[in-house]
Chain A
Amino acid sequence: MIDQNKCEACPVHNAGNLKRLGINMDKFDFVVALAGNPNTGKSTVFNNLTGLKQHTGNWPGKTVTRAEGGFEFNKNRYKLIDLPGTYSLLSTSTDEEIARDFILFGQPDVTVVVVDATRLERNLNLVLQVLEITDRAIVCLNLMDEAGRRNIEIDERALTRDLGIPVVPTEARQDVGIPELLKTVDDVVTGKLICKPYRITGSSKGLTKAVENLAEKIKNEFPGLPNARWVALRLLDGDQKIIDAVRSGEISGIVKRNAIEENFATV
């Protein structure tokens, strides 16, 4: 915590626009969640933005609990949540459940999915699942230095276009690309950038019909729900948390975002 201020002055950080607040999360304006596959550098990004010292390590599963920290950028105060790495949002181990529950019920204003640029395809699995739940997401294309060393090139503009959400290349360990990431977060939360996320297309016929059938009923019950299809899928998979959320009506909180946010802040 000693060198917290060291980098504040250097130009990469948009001339002091970023203020690392450590564990100070009073009166935050926005909540940002860091999701992503294991070992892609989420905790590194987290440390970078908050100035905290969340443990990082070169093996999948280093972070198993949720960590929170704060930062200030462009006069807005943010609460940042470092989540355990997950391969998917459909499985059920304890660490993955923490991540999933937060993205779903924590109602982050924006979810930053940290992605390993050297293994884009497998990481997109999670990105696409996140996009089924929320439409405010950013892809942080991390480990670009390693991708470069392996001669892997990624067409970020094409990726942005295909996913319908902003994509920011970074090298979190070297602080490269972090200012751009912050700028993008700012743009998304302030509504300057509107995401039009990609939605998963085909699956088997029987399933598609069942999903449509059920999604229709869900929409009737909870008008305006943006991810009725996903809720339908989860109901069909017997996900108890979603069943409970439907039963209690909590699921509609996804529409009444602001009301929930206040509740969540007081929890």
Chain B
Amino acid sequence: MTTNQINEREKLIASANTLRWEIGENIHDSIIESIYTDAAKIANKVVRIKEQKKKYSFDQTIDRIVTSKWLGFPIMFLLLAVVFWVTIEGANVPSGLIANLLVDTLHPLLKDFIASVGIPYWINGVLIDGAYLAMAWVISVMLPPMAIFFPLFTLLEDFGYLPRVAFNMDNLYRKVGAHGKQALTMTMGFGCNAAGIIATRIIDSPRERIIAIITNNFSLCNGRWPTQILIATIFIGGAVPAYLAGLVSAAAVVSIALLGIIFSLLVSWGLSKTVLKGEASAFSLELPPYRPPRILRTLYTSIIDRTIFVLWRAVVFAIPAGIVIWLVANVTIGGTNIAEHFIDWTDPFALFVGLNGVILLAYIIAIPANEIVVPTVLMLTVLVAGIAGVGSGSGVMFELDSIGDTSAILHAGGWTVLTGVNLMLFSLLHNPCSTTIYTIYKETKSIKWTVISTILPIIMGFAVCFFVAQLWRLIAS
């Protein structure tokens, strides 16, 4: 490129600039207007509509119902509740079966086999008691609910219901200064927060996009339901008669999910009043026509594709975490292992806010993947409470045959209903998993926002747990 050429180009750009002063600001308007004029001309020539259309009014009828003043929200909650209920009820049995196979049957076999080959005990421990068991647990706990939830969710998505949710909820989002499409990204977050955060690209306004990114973590992702479902079943379902247990636990999980939505609204409001000051910007959302979903194809793609994909990720993270768990439980300093050191050290604070040291340690180990929180908690509880005769020994992650056993362990570890409730709250309000944090960084390209979206939920989690614990104790005493 010669200097002459460069000069010519700079001149060209400069002359464009001068012209811009002259023609003023309306250029975009006139371009679009003239394009649309041409488009209308062509369309008028080639499109013919033969008298009116029945199908169309069918669409409108559904729309009238699902967006109506009185029925809109109830239908939404009902659908949400049904989806969770079906997931909880349906996942129970297959979960047990898989656990039976992978943990109760296969695990001892593998262990014996390795032992018989003569490999040192610690390799056996790290690989089989750590990595393998973590993976087995993740599969048995996650596969069934995901294989139910994803297809259900995809059916709703394919039908065209999600944009209607956004339409119904926009009123709330506008009032807190957020974008209406945040409702869409939030529902995506119910599947996976990282996916929800990438989906925020549909939000034009940078301010509102950051709000949507920060608050996406308040959508319970699928890595956190197993925790919610299990704890709800033990501590809340356990407190009511058996025939109500399923319903009541589903209701508890739905309430946590709704609480998440409320928190996301509150935080959005707080942000748009302070660091991300501003009113809600324009919102325009196309409501697509309803399309009958193709059930078989949906089942196939959502199970094979989404479920396997998410599961794969969980397994990949569970294996190293399993190894870490085994190590903290078996490497000792001054006679006690690392886990116990940590638990003793954090217990005073943790108990004060209604949690315990075990939970805190579990959440640190589970930063890569939320899925493994509960197995870690169980394993550590056994370790600390020194319960004999359960599991397969110290530092082994296991699945217990019945919820009753799990419940017995937790109660023996000093858990109360308060601990259960607070664990559910803390599972809603804590830092996003490492993949999500990385995604936030990639999408915002800002360390500041990444740190804020990581720290903010933890602070909120501790604050909420603290208040719940104190109020609980006040009322109980």
Contact between B48 and A162, CB atoms less than 8 A apart? no
The A148-170 residues at the B interface (CB cut-off 8 A) are 149-156, 158-159, 162-163
Chain B, Cβ-Cβ closest to A94: B201
Residues of A within 8 A of B289 (CB): 118, 146
Q: In whole Å, how far is B146's beta carbon from the nearest beta carbon of chain A? A: 15
Taking a contact as CB atoms under 8 Å apart, the answer to whether B46 and A162 are in contact is yes
Q: Please tell me if the beta carbons of B9 and A246 are within 8 angstroms of each other in the complex.
A: yes
Pairwise interchain contact A61-B181, C-beta atoms closer than 8 A: yes
Cβ of A45 to closest chain B Cβ, rounded Å = 15
A184 interface residue, CB < 8 Å from B? no
Q: Which residues of A have CB within 8 Å of B6?
A: 247
Contacts A58-B157, A60-B286; is A236 near B23 (CB within 8 Å)? Answer: yes
Bound Cα distance A59, B56 (Å): 17
Secondary structure at the B interface, as helix, strand, loop or mixed, is helix
Residues of B within 8 A of A266 (CB): none
Q: Which residue in chain B gives the minimum CB-CB distance to A234? A: B16
6 closest A-B pairs by CB:
A124-B39, A61-B202, A121-B43, A235-B16, A203-B34, A64-B201
Which of A69-77, A104-112, A187-195, A209-217 lines the interface with chain B?
Answer: A209-217
Q: Which of B285-321 contact A (CB under 8 A)?
A: 285-286, 288-291, 293-294, 301, 304-305
A249→B12 contact, CB < 8 A: no
Query: B417 contacts the other chain (Cβ, under 8 Å)?
Result: no
> Which residues of chain B are within 8 angstroms of A249 by Cβ–Cβ distance?
1, 5, 9
Confirm or deny: B277 has a beta carbon within 8 angstroms of a beta carbon on chain A: no
A95 within 8 A of B: yes
- Output the least CB separation between B422 and chain A (Å): 36
User: How many inter-chain contacts with C-beta < 8 Å in the A-B complex?
Assistant: 180
Question: Would you give the shortest CB distance from A14 to chain B, in whole angstroms?
Answer: 23
**Is B347 part of the binding interface, using a Cβ–Cβ cutoff of 8 Å?**
no
Beyond the given pairs A90-B31, A125-B35, A247-B6, 4 more chain A to chain B contacts, judged by CB atoms under 8 angstroms and listed by A's residue number, are: A84-B201, A94-B201, A158-B45, A237-B28
Give, as a whole number of angstroms, the nearest-CB distance from A203 to chain B.
4
Decide: A120 near B49, CB < 8 A? Known: A61-B202, A206-B23, A207-B30.
no
Bound-state Cα–Cα, A59 to B206, Å: 21
Q: Are A201 and B184 in contact (CB under 8 A)?
A: no
Instruction: Please tell me if the beta carbons of A154 and B46 are within 8 angstroms of each other in the complex.
Output: yes
Interface residues of A in 70-114 (CB under 8 A from B): 84, 88, 90-95
How close is A190's CB to chain B, nearest CB, in angstroms?
A: 27
Given known pairs A154-B47, A200-B38, the reply for A214 and B19 (CB within 8 Å) is: yes
Complex contact B23–A57 (CB within 8 A): no
Bound complex: CA of A247 vs CA of B9, how far in Å? 6
Query: Would you list which residues of chain B between 184 and 215 have a CB under 8 Å from chain A?
Result: 184, 198-199, 201-204
CA distance A60 to B288 in the complex (A): 7
Residues of B with Cβ closer than 8 Å to A? 1, 5-6, 8-10, 12-13, 15-16, 19-20, 22-23, 26-28, 30-40, 42-43, 45-53, 55-56, 154, 157-160, 162-163, 181, 184, 198-199, 201-204, 285-286, 288-291, 293-294, 301, 304-305
Partner of A152, one of B37, B47, B304: B47
Q: Is A25 an interface residue (CB 8 A)?
A: no
Query: How far does the alpha carbon of A57 sit from the alpha carbon of B305 in the complex, in Å?
Result: 14
> Pick the contact of B202 from A58, A64, A118, A155 — CB < 8 Å?
A64
Q: Is the CB of A217 within 8 A of B12?
A: yes
Given A59-B157, A162-B45, A243-B13, answer yes or no on A221-B8 (Cβ-Cβ < 8 Å).
Answer: yes
Asked if A221 and B12 sit within 8 Å, CB to CB, the answer is yes
Given A61-B202, A159-B42, also A153-B27 (CB < 8 A): no
Measured in the bound complex, the distance between the Cα atoms of B142 and A16 in whole Å is 40
How far apart are the CA atoms of A128 and B22 in the complex, in Å?
27
Q: How far is the CA of A149 from the CA of B58 in the complex (A)?
A: 12
Q: Which residue of B lies closest to A64 (CB)?
A: B201
Per the bound structure, the CA–CA distance linking A203 and B199 in Å amounts to: 36
Establish whether residues A201 and B36, one from each chain, have CB atoms under 8 Å apart when the complex forms: no
Asked whether B15 lies within 8 Å of A214 as measured between CB atoms, the reply is yes
Residues of B within 8 A of A255 (CB): none
B287 to chain A, nearest CB (A): 9
Q: How far is the CA of A163 from the CA of B45 in the complex (A)?
A: 12
List, in ascending order, chain A residues with CB within 8 A of B16's CB.
214, 232, 235-236
Output the residue of B47, B199, B204 with the most chain A CB within 10 A. B47
Q: Which residues of A contact B290 (CB under 8 A)?
A: 58
Tell whether, in the assembled complex, residue B43 and residue A210 are in contact, meaning their CB atoms are under 8 Å apart. no
Q: Which residues of B contact A243 (CB under 8 A)?
A: 13
A93 lies within 8 A of B19 (CB) = no
Q: Which residues from A are CB-within-8-Å of B28?
A: 90, 237
Complex Cα–Cα for A74 and B129 (A): 54
28 A–B pairs (Cβ distance < 8 Å), ordered by A: A53-B304, A57-B157, A58-B291, A64-B198, A65-B198, A93-B204, A122-B39, A124-B39, A125-B32, A125-B35, A125-B39, A146-B291, A153-B47, A153-B48, A155-B48, A162-B42, A200-B35, A201-B34, A201-B38, A202-B34, A203-B34, A207-B27, A210-B19, A235-B16, A237-B31, A238-B20, A246-B12, A249-B5
A159-B42, A203-B33, A210-B19 given; A247·B10 CB < 8 A: yes
B446: min CB distance to chain A, Å: 14
Instruction: Assess the B43–A202 pair: CB atoms within 8 A.
Output: no
Q: Is A50 an interface residue (CB 8 A)?
A: no
Contact B47 A120 (CB under 8 A): yes
Measured in the bound complex, the distance between the Cα atoms of B20 and A252 in whole Å is 23
B201 touches A59 (CB 8 A): no
Given A58-B160, A173-B294, CB of A233 within 8 Å of CB of B201 = no
Return the contact of A88 from the options B12, B23, B32, B201 (Cβ within 8 A).
B32
| Cα distance A61–B51 in the bound complex, in angstroms | 32
Asked if residues B157 and A155 are in contact (CB atoms below 8 Å), the reply is no
- Residue of A53, A61, A64, A95 touching B305 (CB-CB under 8 A): A53
Q: Which residues of A contact B30 (CB under 8 A)?
A: 203-204, 207
Cβ–Cβ < 8 Å partners of B184 in chain A: 59, 61
Q: How far is the CA of A156 from the CA of B12 in the complex (A)?
A: 41
A61 to B12, CA, bound (A): 37
- For B10, list chain A residues within 8 Å (CB): 247
Distance between Cα atoms of A59 and B187 in the complex (Å): 13
Q: How far is the CA of A39 from the CA of B45 in the complex (A)?
A: 25
Q: How far is the CA of A213 from the CA of B19 in the complex (A)?
A: 9
Please tell me if the beta carbons of B9 and A64 are within 8 angstroms of each other in the complex.
Answer: no
Nearest CB in chain B to that of A158: its residue: B46
- Residues of chain A with a CB closer than 8 A to B27's CB: 207, 233, 236-237
Q: In the bound complex, do residue B38 and residue A121 qualify as a contact, i.e. CB atoms below 8 Å apart?
A: no
